[in-house]
A and B are shown apart, each in its own frame.
Chain A
Amino acid sequence: MAAPLTFQIQLTLTELLGRRARSAAELRDGIRSVPRSSIYYHTHRYLLQHVRESPEPPNDFAYWTTNSLGQHQLGESLASVNTVDFLGLEELRDRFVSILEAQPSSNDGVCVLSPEGLEFHFLACRIFVVPAGLTVCSLPEFRDALTRIPAESLYYHMFVPRFLGAGAPDDFSRWFAAQGRTDVAAALTKLDPYAMTVEGLRRKILDILDQHA
């Protein structure tokens, strides 16, 4: 019998780095040197701020490049980075840098600058992990808990392990694999959780559980 799964909740405190960028080149230099928690923040922040709808591109770099610099093609390239393909923040950082490096630093000799007041501000975060007060031992218990846990808990188990080096893309697939339910684990691993809202993700996982009940 595998160990029970204890649900946790992630809470975040946002930190300001006092660093800003006005051009794609400054954005690239910033991405190169900010702490890892800044890369994490700018690629995950939107998930918990818009748990039901996703009106923004999936990372702040893409949003700013598109909306403040007006560089739509570059913005689209940054938005297209598949965060789910990366198992570490350094690799993810390198990917953004390489896209920005491939970009000419000026357009016909003119460097595109953001308007005053619309600069990119580098932020970072500290993560707090708090017990959610729920522990499950079986698939039916898991299903029941999944309908009740807050978005911050679902988020924690599906997104945080990827960047804490837990050895699996998410906690749930690891737990199901340990339970001998490799079918459920495989179906969960196939999901791209970045391509939906946290509430959408909850519905998808419930569907998977129902299909493999």
Chain B
Amino acid sequence: MPKLQEYLPIIGESRLDQLFKIARPLEGRVVQNINSTAVGGGVAEILTRMIPLFRELGIDARWDVIRGNERFFAITKAMHNGLHGVPVELSASDFEFFVETGRANIEHVRPWGDIVFLHDPQPIALVEERGSDGRHWIWRCHIDFTAPQADIWEFLQGYIRRFDAAVFSAPAFSRPLPIRQVLIAPSIDPLSDKNRDLTESEISAVCNRFGLDRTRPIVSQISRFDFLKDPVGVIKAYKMAKKHVDCQLVLAGGGATDDPEGQKVLDEVRREAEGDSDIFVLFLPPASDLAINALQRASSVVLQKSLREGFGLTVAEALWKARPVIASAVGGIPLQITHKYSGILTHSIEGTAFWIKQLLNEPAYAAVLGQNGREHVRQNFLITRHIKDYILLFLSLERPGDVIEL
């Protein structure tokens, strides 16, 4: 894992120095992170990278993982979908089982940190253990909360209101609650394999592996094969643009092969792509971070034509590579792109096709969008900013007031 000093050339001395300054009053505090998985998924990924950085700053960050059986995780997956607005059915006994599992976990994940920091709904019932011992409790919601299913929201709300603060990733996820709510956007790690600088030969090696022609423009969407990412809409937009401008299209992403819907999407995408040798549908296995990085860097234009989106960190990933991005104005994407300044926001297939043509025909303008996008990500969406926000939140638990002098 990278050391904080390695971020210096990216964020500058002042930003790095700020992290040490604000962390000093918290030296030795135990921040106990609790989630439901040690590997796989965005939460585990970010905790793996953040915990060593917190420790370097003198904050004693710990990480515990709750246990659950198959039924528990089936329930939490259904909850996850329901919070995303997908209708699901959960019975009273499901809710009861969820609570019982939470209580059973208190035996081996005893909340003992100065700050107990729970991630997502899975461990939320641990808050029942909260006493009057002065510990601070935070709940971090990493998922899209725009339109949560009413019964699940009602159930979770009973727990959320017992925390000191809830953390959401986008303003639209916030709901009326009697506790403090804090906005902390997710982040990318510029030193991870998915985002670090690559040499030309590394990029070319990946392109050659997939048979891409680097002498011709590449338009890509790198995202899970999911109807909500609208990969078929991407192909339609590409076909409209292709009538007037030469390009190749890369649709690359992963997805569970045992997910019947994922397979259905992939089949539909392949049907739509049939007969066009310039469309590359790449089903990437897990641990394809370097390939994703190279494909984004090789792209003349990156698309994210989602119909719905959580935060949409793939946009930040592409912007960090100074790529011009055309993306739908949904979820957290408008926080990452200011239209015609740091990228392009569209609302339709036709609009996407129009902007593909414009950006391929005006590479100088496209380059400016990419550069502005990269600076916006540097200022707002890197892991160091994420850590800074968490530290400010921890400080605010101990020091009330609108203005806090350190």
Contact = CB atoms under 8 A, between A and B. Distances in A.
Contact of B406 (A15, A17, A130): A130
Interface residues of A, number: 36
B217 interface: no
A130 B18 contact: yes
Interface stretch (A24-32, A52-60, A80-88, A169-177): A52-60
B88 interface: no
B330 A130 contact: no
B177 A18 contact: yes
Contacts of A17: 174, 181
Contacts, number: 93
Interface string B1-20: 00000000000101101100
Contact of B168 (A16, A53, A133, A149): A16
B117 to A, nearest CB: 15
Interface string B204-239: 000000000000000000000000000000000000
Contacts of A16: 168, 171, 174, 181-183
B99 interface: no
B150 interface: no
Given A19-B176, A126-B392, A164-B403, A14 B183 contact: yes
Contact of B181 (A18, A49, A126): A18
Contact of B379 (A9, A49, A132): A49
A56 B22 CA distance: 30
A121 B388 contact: no
Contact of A126 (B22, B379, B380, B402): B402
A105 interface: no
A123 B21 contact: no
A130 B18 CA distance: 8
A126 B396 contact: yes
Given A13-B396, A18-B181, A130-B406, A121 B18 contact: no
A123 B182 CA distance: 9
Contacts of A133: 17
A145 interface: no
A137 interface: no
Given A117-B330, A121-B171, A129 B182 contact: no
A11 B341 contact: no
B180 interface: yes
A125 B342 CA distance: 25
Given A129-B406, A133-B17, A55 B182 contact: no
B341 A18 contact: no
Contacts of A11: 18, 22, 388, 392
Nearest to B380: A49
A37 interface: yes
Interface string A158-183: 00000010000000000000000000
Interface string B363-401: 000000000100110011000000011001101100001
B282 interface: no
A131 interface: yes
Given A15-B181, A117-B146, A123-B183, A128 B174 contact: no
B287 interface: no
Interface in A100-119: 117, 119
Contacts of B104: none
Contact of B174 (A9, A121, A125): A121
B404 interface: yes
B22 A128 contact: yes
B393 A13 contact: yes
Contacts of B184: 14
B15 A127 contact: no
Contacts of A51: 379
Given A15-B181, A16-B182, A18-B181, A52 B168 contact: no
Nearest to B347: A115
Contacts of B396: 13, 126
Nearest to B179: A18
Given A13-B393, A52-B375, A128-B406, A18 B174 contact: yes
B183 A127 contact: no
Given A37-B402, A117-B172, A128 B372 contact: no
A161 to B, nearest CB: 11
Contacts of B376: 49
A69 to B, nearest CB: 15
Contacts of A14: 182-184
B338 interface: yes
B405 interface: yes
Nearest to B335: A49
B175 interface: yes
13 contacts: A16-B183, A18-B177, A49-B376, A51-B379, A117-B172, A125-B402, A126-B392, A127-B402, A129-B406, A150-B12, A150-B14, A152-B14, A164-B403
Interface of A: 9, 11-19, 35-37, 49, 51-53, 55-56, 117, 119, 121, 123, 125-133, 149-150, 152, 164
Interface of B: 12, 14-15, 17-18, 21-22, 146, 168, 171-172, 174-177, 180-184, 330, 338, 340-342, 372, 375-376, 379-380, 388-389, 392-393, 395-396, 401-406
The 8 closest A-B pairs by CB, nearest first: A121-B171, A16-B174, A16-B181, A55-B341, A150-B14, A13-B392, A14-B183, A18-B176
